[in-house]
């Protein structure tokens, strides 16, 4: 016992586990890694939740949001207007396009960057809004499935068509109503 005790004391003694400490040099402790992962995920979820909480918005914020919604319809209707003007007055349209041909290439690049950043930011905001709605829907899934299950149970209990004056079959939680004259009269009405 003395030799085995001293061997185990060397490997596991002093309140430390030498084997565990040596292995953790090459491979992280799975339990500690899980704790770190859970803390990181909780921090990320808290950050996402903080992004979606907005204080009450004033008239200026609502006005700017309204202005931010104008470029897409204006670009779409403007392009349709250009097609219509090309068919109505081709000479007028050709004169305007000659002016557009004089715009220098760096200005086209700048306009492309501005438009792509605008639509890219809008796409990102809309996708985050979609993900928020999706997470809210997923959070309600359990409640909805419980409601569906309760409705299906109710359907199986009351799914049979009863003849006039016939009582429902006995079911768990249902009170037996055979011989209840008042209930039979009420059903007939």
Q: Per-residue confidence at 40, pLDDT binned at 50, 70, 90?
A: very high
Per the document, the length of the chain is: 189
Q: Which two tokens stand for residue 26?
A: 């090459």
Question: CA–CA separation, 115 vs 125, rounded Å?
Answer: 15
Interval 109-144: pLDDT, tens: 898 888 888 778 777 878 888 888 878 777 888 888
C-beta separation of 19 from 11 below 8 A: yes
Q: For the chain, which residues make up each domain, given as ranges?
A: 1-41, 61-102, 105-155
Instruction: Reply yes or no on whether the pLDDT at 157 is more than 70.
Output: no
Q: What is the pTM of this model?
A: 0.33
């Amino acid at each position: 016992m003395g030799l085995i005790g001293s061997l185990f004391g060397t490997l596991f003694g002093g309140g430390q586990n030498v084997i565990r400490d040596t292995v953790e040099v090459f491979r992280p402790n799975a339990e500690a890694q899980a704790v770190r992962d859970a803390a990181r995920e909780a921090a990320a979820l808290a950050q996402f939740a903080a992004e979606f909480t907005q204080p009450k918005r004033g008239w200026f914020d609502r006005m700017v949001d309204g202005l931010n919604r104008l470029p897409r319809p204006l670009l779409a209707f403007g392009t349709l207007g250009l097609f219509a003007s090309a068919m109505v007055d081709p000479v007028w349209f050709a004169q305007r396009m000659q002016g557009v041909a004089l715009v220098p290439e760096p200005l086209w690049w700048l306009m492309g960057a501005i438009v792509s950043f605008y639509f890219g930011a809008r796409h990102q905001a809309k996708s985050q809004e979609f993900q928020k709605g999706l997470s809210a829907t997923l959070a309600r899934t359990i409640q909805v499935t419980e409601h569906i299950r309760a409705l299906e149970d109710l359907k199986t209990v009351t799914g049979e068509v009863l003849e006039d004056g016939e009582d429902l079959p006995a079911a768990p939680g249902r009170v037996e109503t055979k011989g209840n004259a008042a209930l039979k009269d009420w059903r007939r009405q």
